Structure 1
Amino acid sequence: MTLRLTGRVLTYGVLAGFSLLFLLPIGWLFVTALKTGADLASFPVTWWPADPQWGNFTKALDYVPFAGYLRNSVTVSVIFATLATLTSALVGYGLARIKGAGRSALFKFMLGTILINSLVTMLPTFIMFSRAGLVNTYIPWVVWGLAAPTYLAFMFRQFFAALPAELEEAAVIDGCSRVGIFWRIALPLAKPALATAFILSFVGTWGDFIAPLLFLDSDTTTLAVAVVNGYVDPQGGTLNNLMSAGALLYTAPVILLFAVTQKLIMQGVATSGLK
């Protein structure tokens, strides 16, 4: 009993230590957001400002068109997440349930593409979209969503492969087509995986900086780019306190989303066989 209690104390102690380690950057952002310009320039470093500037959060919303960039981020993230979730589910179902020549080789080739860093293909992709006149539009995110991201297709493949074959056999006897089986049986059973795929896609697009910086102009870009490039003074210097406040406001929706859907995400990962 004593050993078990000691083990629990050590486990929770290690977890608490790692949690504090991961929370340090957010804590530093929060403290910086409450400082004045004089606090930031002071030496030695002021760990907590004598007069916290809570109004910096309001200033961060007004200094850049925060609401407009927020709308752009939501639009891009929802477009990509919706399309990527549906197409990945379709590809994963095909790889898991439809037998055919070359299926195994195709699956292995698809997994091999995970090793290719997206930065390697970013420049050729930009040139392709630029020549097609699709830069400064959200069409690239539509195309990427329709392409079915490999990691999501693999997750759905693992989920659908675990479904009992009797469900499909019963549906075939009732005269249901392959498309009908996918829409009426497979997808309703895959709700945890669908939710997990949508959330991961949404968060990934929300946090992307490189693609919006390359493909979108200053009016259509996302909040990630605006937070990094928007908080500057007339002389071109960075307003670190407003940038920190804007960064906290930018990350707050994602943190809230994960806090609310944590159990759903874990359920989706567990039922998909991803450990």
Structure 2
Amino acid sequence: MNEALKLILSKELIILDGDGTLYIGSKSLPGAREFVRFLDKSRKGFVVMTNNSSFSKEHHIKRLGRVLGRRFSEDEVFISTEAAIEYLREINVRRVYALGTPEFIQDLVRSGITHDPESPEVVVIAFDKTLTYGKLVRAVRHIMNGTPYVVVNPDVLCPTDRGYIPDAGSIWALIRTATGKEPMAVMGKPSNLFLNYMLRRLGVKPSDAVIIGDRLYTDIAMANENGIDSILVLTGETKAEDLVNSRYRPTFVVNTLIDLLK
């Protein structure tokens, strides 16, 4: 048994990234199905923790089921939208203007947060695949007039079946350049807010978890900043050469999930 697998089996909770780790678009990545089956057979608790805020939680659950051939429960999938909602509730925000997809906005409304394009308390920057110039103009004007903003997830790119596309981090870069202003908070990985929300829900300590993901600045950064062991897989955004100058250090590095089972 390899050392990375020994680490996994010693932990109470395995935290798996989605895009770039388990799947890209509608296709599972090498070893993803086998690895999930192994965790189930070994009776290891695991969750999928994704920064992808363009889809609702229900959408993510259904997609995981199709891609990995397994049913997922509500407590096995956590998305950055949940962290954003938790944060907005904590600071008592009830009205926002969001750069987000209809599914994202629907999740906000379901949680009791009003989508108010005219007089928001906060502007919310999410992974908006329906982004238009008009939406950007409205967001920039609100922020320039003093409305604070938050970023749902910092990912610069999202992998798809057809290649990479700009994610929320890229939209944030545009907003920051246009306004010269920084956000109140950045949710999603590597945010402690996202991690603590999930661990509280599941009743697990950070030391009892391991994070497996493909991004240094989100997955591995969250692990490093919270004293959690981590495994980097090279099936997504990060390449082996990126490790040379990175300040984030995974406990182990593998090419694909199937390598964990060798």
* TM-score bracket for this pair, using the shorter chain length: under 0.3
The TM-score with structure 2 as length reference comes to: 0.27
Higher relative contact order (CA 8 A, sep 6+): 1
The TM-score with structure 1 as length reference comes to: 0.26
Structure with the largest fraction of helix: 1
**CA radius of gyration, larger in:** 1
